[in-house]
Amino acid sequence: MSVVLQAQPDPDAEDFWALRPSLREPIPAIFESATLLSQAADAFLIGDLETAGERIRAANMAEIREWIESLWGGAKQNPDQPLYNRKRAITPELPKLDLTLRHPVRMPNAAEKSIILERDGWTCRYCGIPLIESKARNILRLAMPDALVWGNSNREKHAAFQCMTPEYDHVVPHCYGGASSIENTVICCGPCNCGKFDRLLEHQGLLDPRLRCASRTAWDGLTRLPSP
């Protein structure tokens, strides 16, 4: 099954110049896989590794892999499936700051990350998909390496776990003077972070995620799994 990506935009369409919350709409398979992985975590907690492994394998969906690749792989260059908003074409690229002029701290520290995570929850501030704590992934991977594959290349990694890996995005990119502060950093999924890369929101026609309320759901990022 192939992912249906955004079609070539119509200049006469009402929403042609509209800002959007994310580079790609999340697909239903991602949320379906989150349900399967939550079931896997519950099975793991009661020692049912067989059921946990089955759910983890079922969550490794080809549709999710295609969605990921459309954001950071070669597919994002397909002119018939444009990734970047047409606003970028009329928004001039600004020169990036010299390295000596950028904020000296590249990433928020552990305490700041904890505050950001508490504020944003375990969901991507751009596309809204559930995110999974890396520690939880490693717990399941160590217990069931045949089910939770995690190879060296992107395509050798479990698609759902890779898709839902949390990252910290500078809303104003570091290369444009953005600080690694709580105010300028949001939680997002790896594909959204890589797709946005080092570009300004206006270069991609993106809404500022800080102007929307963080999605607060019952999703816990599988943090209920105990450390080994």
Q: What is the pTM of this model?
A: 0.85
Q: Which residues of 123-159 are buried (b: 16+ CB within 10 A; e: fewer)?
A: bbbbbbbbbbbeebbbbbbebbeebbbeeeeeeebbb
- Where residue 12 falls among pLDDT bands split at 50, 70, 90? low
The pLDDT tens digits for 110-169 are: 999 999 999 999 999 999 999 999 999 999 999 999 999 999 998 899 999 999 999 999
Q: What's the maximum distance between 2 C-alpha atoms anywhere in the chain?
A: 57
Number of neighbouring beta carbons within 10 Å of residue 40:
27
Q: In whole angstroms, what is the distance from residue 155 CA to residue 226 CA?
A: 28
pLDDT at 92: 63
pLDDT at 15: 61
Considering only 58-67, 87-96, 162-171, 217-226, which range has the smallest mean pLDDT? 87-96
pLDDT at 76: 52
33 vs 205, which has greater pLDDT? 33
The pLDDT tens digits for 167-218 are: 999 999 988 888 999 999 999 999 999 988 888 898 888 999 999 887 777 8
Domain boundary assignment for the chain: 28-211
What is the share, in percent, of the chain residues with pLDDT greater than 90?
58
Reference 76, options 6, 158, 148, 171; nearest CA is 6
- What residues contact 68, with CB distance under 8 A and at least 6 apart? 154, 159, 162, 163, 190, 191
